[in-house]
Amino acid sequence: MTDRSLVGFTGAGYDKGRQFHVQVLWMLASSLVVSHWWCPNSVRLRILRMFGAKIGVGVLIRHRVRIHWPWKLTVGDYSWVGEDAWILNLEPVSIGANTCISQSVLLCAGSHDRRSGTFEFDNAPIRVGDRTWIAARATVLRGVTIGNDVTIGATALVTTDVHDGMTVLAPAARRSE
């Protein structure tokens, strides 16, 4: 076990991608407008694009979706992102076309190196392919590539790449006798 001292944390290797004032403006726009139920999808998408998100046509991003940095987000045509999804994109996150990211999914491109004495970042991009469904409350961790035509079941924890056409399910609860 490494002696850990968070006081020495430097954040080395993590580039937020925009100047501080742009980060502040995004946080304000996100919390005051983008995430609310009364904000029309067309306005939500326009604001995301203004902040650098690459969003295709026919995309639906529901309310209460948290997007850490829009300039590190790409969403393909006709994809959906459900309520309460959290895209923690400290590194780029790309979502393919005709893909459904369901309610309360977490796409987490950030982490920490548990072996680092100062708990430095260990971030990596996430890529989700075309025609893929990530069901409710699933979690996809940093560095994972999910292929095309994939189904990730509800509450699944995805820590490694998932190849085209695969289905990944969380363990089901079983009744004890």
The yes-or-no verdict on residue 1 having pLDDT over 60 is no
pTM: 0.95
Overall size of the chain counted in residues = 177
With cut-offs at 50, 70 and 90, classify the pLDDT of residue 96.
very high
Residue with tokens 């969003």, as numbered in its chain: 55
What is the edge-to-edge ordering of all strands in the sheet holding 80-81?
60-61, 80-81, 100-101, 133-134, 151-152, 167-168
Question: How far apart (Å, rounded) are the C-alpha atoms in residues 38 and 98?
Answer: 25
DSSP category for residue 162? B
Model confidence over 41-94: pLDDT tens digits? Answer: 999 999 999 999 999 999 999 999 999 999 999 999 999 999 999 999 999 999
Model confidence over 21-54: pLDDT tens digits? Answer: 999 999 999 999 999 999 999 999 999 999 999 9
pLDDT of residue 39: 97
